[in-house]
Amino acid sequence: MARPGTIASDIANAAAAPSVAVGDQSPLKLEQFLPYQLSLVTTLVSLALSRVYSRRYHIGVPEWRVLVTLGQHGTLNGKTIGARTQMHKTKVSRAVALLEKRKLLTRRVNCDDMRESFLSLTAPGLAMYEELAPHALDFARRLTEILTPGDREAFLRALAKITERSAQLVAEDLVAEDPVAEDLKEIGLEDIGPEEIDPLEEA
């Protein structure tokens, strides 16, 4: 199995490699294609960020997302966690089971609906979240320290607009496939459920 550092190096080298002459005539150049560029950045950032929580706490991406979401919002059900993290319900369920096995979270059955459970961090889980948070924030600081304050503000504005536009395109595609989904055009990003989206497993 290739090491994360090797994978990251291979990705970066491939992205920086000059294209052959025939590629100059191609109508679509992958390295200049914005969706690919965003995916590439996501992969590299995820590999780097995973060192913050994987090496220290031996958890993966789904567990990281569930832990941080509960640390931020307190008690939630699995459906809400899936919507906030854009993870499929099966991925959320597996992450919850692993964290519960490690006694990092606890579940309480909803008395009004026995099919639903309320999830919250245990004392050790909250301690992990509070210990992990400064390391994650430091990573984010080091990631963006190459940008000027103005560049960073412009980047965040552009990122917010692209995120919003991407959600609109997802909703439009769903409506085209299923006219009953017309309501999704008026729903925000966090309400586009994980059943409709199968996101990449990144940070």
Render pLDDT for 70-80 as a digit per residue (tens, 0 to 9).
999 999 999 99
Give the chain's end-to-end CA distance (angstroms, integer). Answer: 20
- CATH level 3 topology of 32-191: Arc Repressor Mutant, subunit A (1.10.10)
Which segments of 58-148 does DSSP mark as H helices, in order?
61-73, 78-85, 89-101, 123-144
Is the pLDDT score of 187 beyond 50?
no
**pLDDT on residue 25:** 82
Q: For 44-60, write each residue's pLDDT tens digit.
A: 999 999 988 998 899 99
DSSP per residue over 120-140, as a string?
A: EE-HHHHHHHHHHHHHHHHHH
Beta-carbon contacts of 59 under 8 Å, excluding residues fewer than 6 positions away, are 53, 67, 98, 99
The residue extents of the domains of the chain are 32-191
Find the mean pLDDT for residues 137-158. Answer: 96
